[in-house]
Every structure is written in structure tokens, then in C-alpha cells.
Amino acid sequence: MVLVTAPAARIAQFIGQPTQVVTLSGSLWSGRATLQGGLVAKWQGQWSGLIRGRLGATVEIQGPRTLLDGRIYASPWQIGLQDLSGRAGPEVLALGPNAAPCEGQAIIDIASITVSRSAVSGDGFVRISESTCQPSGGPAFTTPPLHLVLTSEDESGVATLTTDDTARDTMGRAQLGPDGWVKLRIDPNAARLMPGLPTSAPTELEFQLYTVP
């Protein structure tokens, strides 16, 4: 109980506060964070999770064009997200590092995302409206409506991006394994929207998102 009632700001000082966080108040059990772009995140701990040996909380995120709610949990063996649903505005995308400002809206319905040392899994989808993006120092480009589907393949979590129409043209695919490595494929359909990327064949990249202790 000492850990969950500790001030959230003090914990953030100890582990390092992300640059996207403007202010923190409350505790790890019940608190509030203001984020860049006018976003506010609130969380409230749930006693039922402690019975199963994990720390869980309900989460709500609000912003100018954003309203999301869901549940998060963590245990010594696994971290996860459950029942995240609602809408996300461009202020959410802007939180990403080096993200190009984009106008658009996303509808989110994610049943679960889990990450452990033995497996990563996902179940849900994100539908994104047509968006116009303006990269810094580059020309603007417009993306068509998009459909991101989260699934699982063996011990890895998979995110597949297609156009949100009858054609379902493939735009890309990302696969995250329990070792923290990401396999990313950008298909020519997506590359044509972003100047500088080759369009004759898919671009494939691998990088480590996090390290496993």
C-alpha cells in the first residue's frame, strides 16, 4: 500500500517523467496528469485486481477532440490494457516523438493488449478518418481513411494497416515479439503518400522497442 499511495509526481521524478507530461497530481492509486495538446488523463485504482496479484486501474483521457476510457493493469509477469474505447483527436497523435501534425479523428475499440516475457497479444481495431498531415520542412500529404487491426501470431502481437474501404489495400504491418523487437513493413501504397520512401517494393525495418530485463 505504501507504493500505491505514494505521490505520482515523486514516482515520476524517480523513474523519469516523459516530456509529454506537463503536470502530475494525486498518487499511483488515484491521480491526474495534464499532457501536451490540452489532454487530461485520470486514473483510479481497483481493489479487485489486488486479489489476483496485480495492480489495476480505470483510465479516462479527455482532450479537445478526444474522449477515451479503459483499464490498465500490471503484475510481476504481465502488463496489459483492456476495453479501451472512444474517439481520439489529432492531439493524441501529436504526443508521438517527431509526429507530423495531422488533422483527423480515430474511433478506437480495443478489447485487449497484453505484454509479458513469453508473449505479446492484441485484439481490437482503430478506424482513422481521412487526414491531412504537414511534416516539418516537407510538403503536406493526405492519407485516405485507414483501418488498423490488432491480432496475435504465435507469441507476437501484430498490427495490420489497410485502407478503410472495399478494396482494403494493404498499407503496412508491424509485429512485436516478447523480446521487444519490432518487425515493420511499409507497403508501396503507404510509401507513395510520404515523400522520400521507395515505392517499387515494401520497405522492411527491424528495431528494438524495449529491452527485457
For residue 3, the model assigns a pLDDT of 55
pTM above 0.85, yes or no: yes
Q: Is 48 exposed, middle or buried (0-12, 13-18, 19+ CB in 10 A)?
A: exposed
| Cβ(195)–Cβ(139) below 8 Å | yes
Amino acid at 193: L
Each residue's pLDDT tens digit in the chain (213 positions)? 545 666 777 777 777 778 889 999 999 889 999 999 999 999 999 887 777 778 899 999 999 999 999 999 998 899 999 999 999 999 998 888 777 788 989 999 999 999 999 999 999 999 999 999 888 777 888 899 999 999 999 999 999 999 999 999 999 999 999 999 999 999 999 998 877 788 999 999 999 998 887
